[in-house]
Chains A and B, each alone.
Chain A
């Protein structure tokens, strides 16, 4: 809501500087988002008189002028075609800035200097309206009234001494969407009285009831309908003061009738509508819900769908306005209009909001009605408009008002107990102080109860106040939030034990210390990216754009997007991870919070490029699946997942080639692998990317965070090497499993330290060398023990895997 200082001054004596006023309003809950003084933009610019104009000796289009600024004459080179001796103009002397530079395509400011233009000195500028920021005219200079006095500040000459405040009005305060509403708050804050304009409507002899009938059928959605008729109106452009008032607060002037309705709207906040009386069939207004009609053309020329619950203003023939939202083209005020009906009504906020939302049509009127206008101000606003119409548009106001108000909406009465209020706020206000504060904004004390409560009556312009707690807020607001103490001591009630560190935090700490950079990516993507053979993506009904229609089903795409971005910027190696939620539809009934939707937190990490930063001693080595497995193992150890198992999975999945599933206690918790080349191609990534993906909730369930000490052996470790030749098809995993199967509890570690392929191993074979470490819990192992154990291992490898012991 933009508010004009000059306008406010009509209702309350301000007596504050602009910044003081902004501060007071902000601290009262009317946040001033910005304010702009018109004069600030014209600082230093004065009325000048062009004393002489001569042609420039070196440029055909330029003239050399002498300008008198009230004190002295200055030589100015001017390029405007309309400059002439004797004119009063806007003069910017040397050193002064104008708002817009005519020659700057972006219209940035320009500071006037002493310059030489084609050999002639110029020490000032005769300004155009564009340069001053007060009009779009950049063709010629701004020509002032012939009576203007040289040297007078331009802002005073033009009457541009206003300051405009942009106030962020909260959704609960419809009363602040008007100058009188804001002035009321200033009055409450400063103690200066609120002065409402005196209204006298010069009425004619003819009674309004003879000219117009009003029937309200839907009294639920239209509790009050007031109207007046004005005849003999001259529809023409508004006088300057009216146009300037509206322009200053951002409303475009139309004609005097429409401008007056808008003026009253901005003054008191009551939306008015003017109909062309002669275009109302049957001289009748009927307020009802949508009947037979399907659509209706509003005055912006658009055809709008009408439903049964759309409240309509109709004449004898059909709709003439969408109640509270917008008038109809068929009854619009035109240059030929001579008689008008002014409507001043109160509509049900919910109904207006539904229509406005449904049609995507939000207007100054609908915004006020849906927040809740004041039902008891309609007559005042009507009279104010009638008064202005007779003053400005020469109309004759018919005698009396039509006012259909079958059930008066009364002020809300609320019992307020200052003890409750003080208890919630932590202060010690007295009853009388509260009553004084309330009185300033029209909340009147009705009766003091013996129980200690006080009954207050809340004016109908404050529909947000319905309960005691709402009055508590008003008490706090009027008293001043800044005066409420700041409790220095804070109660501390601690839980029974400190919560365990969450696995996500553990993973973040670990990965970020181990060369991985955490990223945060958009959870929304295009439908194709989110598509996944095992997941139906969640599709948004109202996405921002096509490339953000679906929720991510995997974190991998965000990582690939990040890798692509960084590769493009020359980062050839990196490691990233993200912890975040993924989403899918849930037809299979997995555990869910919102029915039909599945959401879970996952970790995904990805690595590409070199295994470690290049060093002169080493050959550069690229990351492989084994780099990834090593990182994964280190991570699992960190989060105490020593019971995890890798299940190699040979079939490529949607996302990867060479996948390995990770299982804990038989449940799959994630996978790792090489991102599929098809997917990499879609991201224009031409290097291998390895990824690991884990479901964190599953880790939370199975991870054991409580650590217990396990005693270890005090006896020496015996290490024996073993080399076997096996067929290529035998996996290391199979060999290790076979060793474990027979080695017994004394086997501490199996370390693969070499794989050899070549002549000595034989074609289609490989030689695998392991170190086996043995230790006993209760004795030193003897030569004989080891011989037996190694013998058992060898035998098992020979019998089950066809291994040949290599000597």
Chain B
């Protein structure tokens, strides 16, 4: 019992000394925790009560309570004299020093555009299909209703590896590959690299990227094609734009169309980019030509469908105001980091 008395006195002495010695609020707080917290020294004394015979406990309990009040009031008095810590008492750290950076990565701007196009069409129920970049004449031209010796073949300057093997000039051969292996309904988009044997300039490169779309089912109409592409354009370019479809020619669609949207640079007034027309051509499309169905063994009296295709580089250039297609393939970090 004397032992416990001694212990109480020791705790009181060291608590009062430490409170007196505390230099600042943080210091004082450490003292408070050491003595008064739930697992502090005063609490430990209470626990020792259980070692005492029951009749001795109330008296010691009272003593420990007094101790706690003494420490508490010494603590509060000290706070009063100490006041809140002044900034000068916190160790000085220059918070303007730079943090530890990491290398920044980025997706290529063409991937960003493609990702967005994919997201929109996937939301409309389109799947994704891909195919080879080295193609045969049959899939790239013939089955797409480009007859041999037809001037339509001049529309796409082709790289050949041999007489019948070439670098695909569009993603459309994948339409044929998909239809060869699948029965309708088919609803896919087809992204990929395509090649054209054209002189390299600010406006054209020897390769570029396309996204193709194909939908074949019963009763598909031209109006549905328009509806789908308008929905796409609104989501991609914004709902305020005007659009138009005008007749065009692709051997594998009939009727064929090109879709224009209001030039978003000049808002239709006419500028250098839209060649003063106020319109920007964004994609080609049309109803799948029945001759194509014949090549893949679909019954043209049963099925109809549409196809469309757009160039990723062109769309990306328009979107970010780029005027030289070659910048995509130079991969300068000063360019890439602008698309974080």
Q: Evaluate contact between A423 and B221: CB separation under 8 angstroms.
A: yes
**Do B221 and A583 have beta carbons less than 8 Å apart?**
no
Residues of A within 8 A of B219 (CB): 423
B276 sits at the interface (CB 8 A):
yes
Q: Which of A506-537 contact B (CB under 8 A)?
A: 508, 511-524
Q: How far is the CB of B287 from chain A (nearest CB, A)?
A: 6
Which one of B5-13, B34-42, B75-83, B95-103 is at the interface? Answer: B95-103
Cα distance A544–B287 in the bound complex, in angstroms: 34
The answer to whether A641 has its CB under 8 Å from any CB of chain B is no
Q: Is there an interface contact between B193 and A490, defined as CB atoms closer than 8 Å?
A: no
**Among B20-28, B51-59, B61-69, B243-251, the stretch in contact with A:** B243-251
Secondary structure dominating the interface of B: mixed
On whether the beta carbons of A426 and B228 are closer than 8 Å, the reply is: no
Partner of B246, one of A425, A481, A494, A599: A481
- The reply to whether B98 and A615 form a contact with Cβ atoms under 8 Å apart is yes
| Segment touching A, from B85-93, B133-141, B261-269 | B133-141
A170 proximal to B (CB < 8 A):
yes
B299 within 8 A of A: no
Alpha-carbon distance between A142 and B324 when the two chains are bound, in angstroms: 40
A424 to B293, CA, bound (A): 15
Q: Which residue of A426, A495, A511, A544 is within 8 Å of B223 (Cβ)?
A: A426
A524 to B331, CA, bound (A): 16
Binary A-proximity of B231-250 (CB < 8 A = 1, otherwise 0): 10000000000001111110
* Contacts known (A171-B155, A486-B226, A523-B193); A476 close to B333, Cβ less than 8 A: no
Of all chain B residues, the one with the shortest Cβ separation from A515 is: B103
B210 at the interface (CB under 8 A from A): no
Q: Decide if B223 touches A484 in the complex (CB within 8 Å).
A: yes
| Nearest residue, chain B, Cβ from A541 | B160
Assuming the A-B contacts A473-B255, A489-B227, A599-B133, are A612 and B102 also in contact, with contact meaning beta carbons closer than 8 angstroms in the complex?
yes
Cross-interface CB contact of B231 among A490, A493, A573, cutoff 8 Å: A490
A493 to B329, CA, bound (A): 38
**Contact B134 A517, beta carbon cutoff 8 Å:** no
Q: How far is the CA of A520 from the CA of B336 in the complex (A)?
A: 11
Is A645 engaged at the interface, CB distance under 8 Å to the other chain? Answer: no
The CA-CA distance from A596 to B135 in the complex, in Å, is: 11
Q: Name the residue of chain B whose CB is nearest to the CB of A574.
A: B333
Residues in A with CB closer than 8 Å to B337 are: 517
Least CB distance, A27 to chain B, in whole angstroms: 5
Q: How far is the CB of B245 from chain A (nearest CB, A)?
A: 4
Structural contact, B151 and A353, CB atoms closer than 8 A: yes
Report if B257 contacts A (CB, 8 A).
Answer: yes
Given known pairs A426-B223, A593-B132, the reply for A518 and B108 (CB within 8 Å) is: yes
Give Cα A613 to B105, complex, Å: 13
Which stretch of A29-37, A269-277, A652-660 is in the interface?
A: A29-37
CB of B323 closer than 8 Å to a CB of A: no
Using CB atoms, name the residue of chain B closest to A559.
B331
- Tell me, rounded to whole Å, the shortest Cβ–Cβ distance linking B119 to chain A: 11
Are B249 and A491 touching (Cβ within 8 A)?
A: no
Do the beta carbons of B107 and A548 come within 8 Å of each other? no
Of chain B, the residue at the smallest CB distance from A169 is B249
Listed residue (A514, A574, A593) with the most chain B CB atoms within 10 angstroms of its CB: A593
User: Contacts A491-B217, A517-B336 given: A540-B187 contact, CB under 8 Å?
Assistant: no
Selected from A520, A542, A571, the residue in CB contact (under 8 A) with B333 is A571
B206 on interface, CB distance cutoff 8 Å? yes
Shortest CB-to-CB span from B248 to chain A, Å, is: 6
Quick one: given A481-B246, A493-B187, A594-B135, are A612 and B100 in contact (CB under 8 Å)?
A: yes
CB of B75 to closest CB in A, whole Å: 38
Q: Within 8 Å of chain B (Cβ to Cβ): is A581? A: yes
When distances are taken between beta carbons in the complex, the residues of chain A under 8 Å from B100 are 612, 615, 617-618
- Partner-contacting stretch, out of A236-244, A562-570, A683-691: A562-570
Do A426 and B222 contact each other (CB < 8 Å), given the known contacts A481-B257, A522-B207? yes
Q: Which residue of B lies closest to A168 (CB)?
A: B248
Give per-residue flags for A478-500: 1 if the beta carbon is below 8 A from chain B beta carbons, else 0. 00011011111111111100010
Supposing A486-B230, A565-B330 touch, asked if A425 and B222 sit within 8 A by C-beta, the answer is yes
* Interchain CB contact (< 8 A) of A613 among B101, B150, B276: B101
Q: Tell me the nearest residue of chain A to B326, going by C-beta.
A: A522
Q: Does A173 touch B at the CB level, under 8 Å?
A: yes
* Given A423-B219, A426-B224, A566-B332, CB of A31 within 8 Å of CB of B246: yes
Among B97, B106, B165, B276, contact of A518 (Cβ-Cβ < 8 Å): B106
Given contacts A599-B134, A616-B98, is CB(A476)–CB(B222) below 8 Å? yes
Residues in chain A near residue B332, CB distance under 8 A: 565-566, 569
Q: Give min CB distance, A195 to chain B, whole Å.
A: 25
What B residues does A484 contact at CB under 8 A? 222-223, 226, 245
List B contacts of A516 (CB < 8 A). Answer: 103, 105
- Whether A172 sits at the interface, judged by CB under 8 Å, is yes
| Pairwise interchain contact B159-A565, C-beta atoms closer than 8 A | no
With A and B bound together, what is the CA distance between A735 and B251 in angstroms?
66
Counting chain A CB atoms within 10 Å of each CB, which of B98, B222, B249, B275 scores highest?
B222
Q: Name the A residues within 8 Å of B149 (CB-CB).
A: 349-350, 353-354
Partner of B275, one of A34, A353, A486, A492: A34
A477–B98 touching, CB < 8 Å? no
Kindly state the separation between the CA atoms of A502 and B125 in the bound complex, as whole angstroms.
17
**Residues of B contacting A2 in the complex (Cβ-Cβ under 8 angstroms):** none
- Give Cα distance in the complex from A249 to B90, angstroms: 85
Asked if B223 and A486 make an inter-chain contact with CB atoms under 8 angstroms apart, the answer reads yes
Q: Which residue of B lies closest to A577 (CB)?
A: B105
CB 8 Å contact bits of A339-377 with B (1 = contact, 0 = none): 000000000011001100000000000010011000000
Q: Residues of A contacting B154 with CB < 8 Å? A: 171
Q: Are B107 and A27 in contact (CB under 8 A)?
A: no
Nearest to A498 among chain B residues (CB) is: B122
Judged by a CB distance under 8 angstroms, whether A394 is at the interface is no
Cβ contacts under 8 Å, A425 to chain B: 221-223, 255
Contact among B221, B244, B329 with A27 in the assembled complex (CB-CB below 8 Å):
B244
Contacts of B110 in A (CB 8 A): 520
Query: Are the C-beta atoms of A514 and B105 separated by less than 8 Å?
Result: yes
**B200–A544 touching, CB < 8 Å:** yes
A541 to B193, CA, bound (A): 20
Is there an interface contact between A371 and B151, defined as CB atoms closer than 8 Å?
yes
Which residues on A sit within 8 Å (CB–CB) of B224? 426, 487, 490-491
Q: Does B334 contact A (CB under 8 A)?
A: yes
Q: Report B295 CB to chain A, min CB distance, Å.
A: 15
| A485:B223 contact, CB within 8 angstroms | yes
Query: Is there contact, CB below 8 Å, between A597 and B103?
Result: no
Q: Does B169 contact A (CB under 8 A)?
A: no
Cross-chain contact A580 with B193 (CB below 8 angstroms): yes
Which residues of A from 736 to 757 have beta carbons under 8 Å from B? none
A472 & B255 in contact (Cβ 8 Å cutoff):
yes
Residue of A nearest to B257 (CB): A481
Residues of A613-638 whose CB lies within 8 A of B: 613, 615-618
- CB–CB A493/B185 < 8 A: yes
**B84 in contact (CB, < 8 A):** no
In the complex the two chains form, is B254's CB within 8 Å of A472's CB? yes
The reply to whether A616 and B134 contact each other, CB–CB distance below 8 Å, is no
- Establish whether residues B161 and A541, one from each chain, have CB atoms under 8 Å apart when the complex forms: yes
Q: Across the interface, do B333 and A566 meet the contact criterion of CB distance under 8 Å?
A: yes
Per the bound structure, the CA–CA distance linking A115 and B1 in Å amounts to 116
* A-B pairs with beta carbons under 8 Å apart, 7 shown: A27-B246, A426-B221, A522-B207, A566-B332, A566-B333, A575-B105, A599-B134
Report, nearest first, the 9 A-B pairs whose CB atoms are least far apart.
A426-B223, A29-B247, A426-B221, A515-B103, A487-B227, A170-B249, A473-B255, A519-B331, A613-B101
Q: Which residues of A come within 8 Å of B, CB atoms?
A: 22, 26-29, 31-34, 170-173, 349-350, 353-354, 367, 370-371, 423-427, 467, 469-470, 472-473, 476-477, 481-482, 484-495, 499, 502, 508, 511-524, 538-544, 548, 551, 562, 565-566, 569, 571, 573-576, 580-581, 583, 593-594, 596-597, 599, 612-613, 615-618
Known: A426-B222, A472-B254. 12 other contacts (CB 8 A): A423-B219, A469-B290, A472-B255, A487-B224, A492-B124, A493-B185, A495-B127, A517-B105, A541-B162, A544-B206, A613-B101, A613-B103
